[in-house]
């Protein structure tokens, strides 16, 4: 029997940390050595993550232990870089950073499994993609691979309230968010940089404008992105290149029928639906922002890096009803 992977988690009291703990507790080849949270040190994990009552007696730790194989950084943006500057982590430890700090850092492999799976296999430093970036890139990669992104790209995408993190703010407060819809960071969202990076990697010379309008939805989790661009390809040919690009993927599926969030929430799946309208190719992409957009993809990256099946610990069922 394979030795269990010893896991450490920094910043484990937030949404992504909680989802990661949930997944790793059920992972057949993992053992959580510590789940760090300075603000909740010595408190039972299930006191913060109430869905884990009866699942674990682990407590949050204030310190960082060195006897681990993989370290997940579930801290806020800007904090991962500071943590790595202050703490000397052995080169033998695989680091998977869920913040945005290292997604453009050449010393980290960009952990978009469907594009960089071969490189992730030997990586010791992995930058987990952003949630919006994951949904959008998975919709565009097959077109980029075939040099078909030659016009402006238009994107409208809505995320659930968990996308804002667990810290309270005016726009995450229940009374404001409920029965409400709003635009934020139009045309300047931070995930545009990593999206451009990936598209340029697959389509050399890509320089088209990406018009991205993110929105906050009145629901807790999930991302639904609608994307269109002028493209000289027929619908049958478009579907063929999507099928070919994802033929070996465990988690990206092309759906003939329209897709919705309930099909993907609580799973590591990305569902894509492709249509043609005149000269435009229209793509809808749906993911769970906390799983395929964060913790699920992080476990997928770990599985690849440690030579496991990508699906280990990720056999989840959608909350369709």
- What pLDDT does residue 319 have? 84
| Residues 152 and 227 both lie in one domain | yes
- What pLDDT does residue 222 have? 97
C-alpha to C-alpha distance for 64 and 35, rounded to whole angstroms: 9
Share of the chain above pLDDT 70, in %: 95
- What pLDDT does residue 141 have? 98
Q: Which residues are catalytic?
A: 131
| Residues 54 and 11 both lie in one domain | yes
Residue 263 inside a domain? The answer is: yes
| Residues 59 and 203 both lie in one domain | no
DSSP 294-312: IIHHHHHHHHHHTT--TTT
Residue 318 inside a domain? The answer is: no
- Band of the pLDDT at 265, cuts 50, 70, 90? very high
- What pLDDT does residue 188 have? 95
C-alpha to C-alpha distance for 107 and 71, rounded to whole angstroms: 16
pLDDT digits 0-9 by tens, 243-252 = 999 999 999 9
| Residues 160 and 277 both lie in one domain | yes
| Residues 277 and 142 both lie in one domain | yes
| Residues 137 and 199 both lie in one domain | yes
Residue 227 has pLDDT above 60, yes or no: yes
Residue 151 inside a domain? The answer is: yes
- What pLDDT does residue 321 have? 81
Residue 188 inside a domain? The answer is: yes
Query: Domain limits at 213?
Result: 131-289
Residue 164 inside a domain? The answer is: yes
- What pLDDT does residue 109 have? 98
- What pLDDT does residue 39 have? 87
- Of residues 170 and 312, the one with the higher pLDDT is 312
| Residues 191 and 112 both lie in one domain | no
- What pLDDT does residue 162 have? 81
Residue 164 has pLDDT above 70, yes or no: no
Domain count within the chain: 2
| Residues 63 and 164 both lie in one domain | no
| Residues 135 and 103 both lie in one domain | no
| Residues 254 and 139 both lie in one domain | yes
3-state secondary structure of 46: helix
Residue 320 inside a domain? The answer is: no
- What pLDDT does residue 3 have? 87
Mean pLDDT, range 296-306, rounded to an integer: 98
Residue 68 inside a domain? The answer is: yes
Per-residue burial over 146-164, b = 16 or more CB atoms within 10 Å of its CB, e = otherwise: bebbebebbbbbbbbbbbb
| Residues 124 and 166 both lie in one domain | no
Mean pLDDT, range 90-96, rounded to an integer: 97
Helical residues (DSSP H) of 26-172, grouped into ranges: 45-48, 79-86, 113-120, 131-145
C-alpha to C-alpha distance for 310 and 212, rounded to whole angstroms: 30
pLDDT digits 0-9 by tens, 202-224 = 999 999 999 999 999 999 999 99
> Mean pLDDT score of the chain, rounded to an integer?
94
pLDDT digits 0-9 by tens, 3-51 = 899 999 999 999 999 999 999 999 999 999 999 998 899 999 999 999 9
pLDDT digits 0-9 by tens, 103-153 = 999 999 999 999 999 999 999 999 999 999 999 999 999 999 999 999 999
30-36 vs 5-10, strand pairing mode: parallel
- What is the CB neighbour count within 10 angstroms for residue 21? 28
Residue 310 has pLDDT above 90, yes or no: yes
Residue 254 inside a domain? The answer is: yes
| Residues 140 and 41 both lie in one domain | no
**CATH code, 94:** 3.40.50.720
**CATH code, 167:** 3.30.360.10
């Amino acid at each position: 029997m394979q030795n269990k992977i010893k896991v450490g988690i920094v910043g484990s009291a937030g949404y992504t940390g909680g989802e990661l703990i949930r997944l790793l507790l059920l992972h057949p080849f993992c053992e959580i050595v510590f789940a760090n949270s300075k603000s909740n040190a010595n408190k039972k994990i299930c006191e913060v993550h109430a869905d884990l009552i009866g699942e674990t007696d682990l407590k949050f730790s204030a310190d960082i232990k060195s006897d681990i194989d993989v370290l997940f950084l579930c801290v806020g943006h800007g904090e991962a870089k500071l943590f790595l500057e202050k703490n000397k982590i052995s080169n033998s430890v695989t680091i998977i950073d869920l913040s945005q700090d290292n997604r453009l850092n050449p010393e980290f492999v960009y952990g978009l499994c469907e594009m960089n799976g071969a490189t992730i296999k030997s990586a010791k430093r992995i930058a987990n993609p952003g949630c919006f970036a994951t949904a959008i890139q998975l919709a565009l990669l097959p077109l980029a691979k075939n040099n078909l992104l030659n016009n402006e790209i238009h994107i409208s995408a809505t995320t659930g309230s968990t996308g804002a993190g667990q810290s309270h703010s005016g726009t995450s407060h229940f009374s404001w968010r409920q029965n409400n819809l709003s635009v934020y960071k139009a045309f300047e969202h931070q995930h545009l940089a990593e999206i451009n990076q990936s598209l340029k990697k697959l389509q050399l010379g890509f320089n088209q404008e990406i018009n991205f309008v993110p929105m906050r939805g009145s629901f807790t989790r999930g991302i639904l992105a609608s994307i269109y661009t002028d493209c000289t390809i027929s619908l049958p040919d478009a579907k063929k290149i999507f099928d070919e690009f994802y033929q070996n993927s465990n988690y990206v599926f092309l759906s003939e029928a329209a897709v919705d969030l309930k099909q993907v929430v609580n799973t590591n799946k990305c569902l894509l639906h492709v249509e043609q309208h005149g000269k435009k190719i229209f793509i809808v992409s749906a993911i769970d922002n906390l799983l395929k957009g964060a913790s699920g993809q992080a476990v997928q990256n770990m599985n690849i890096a440690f030579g496991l099946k990508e699906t280990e610990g990720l056999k989840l069922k959608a909350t369709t009803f």
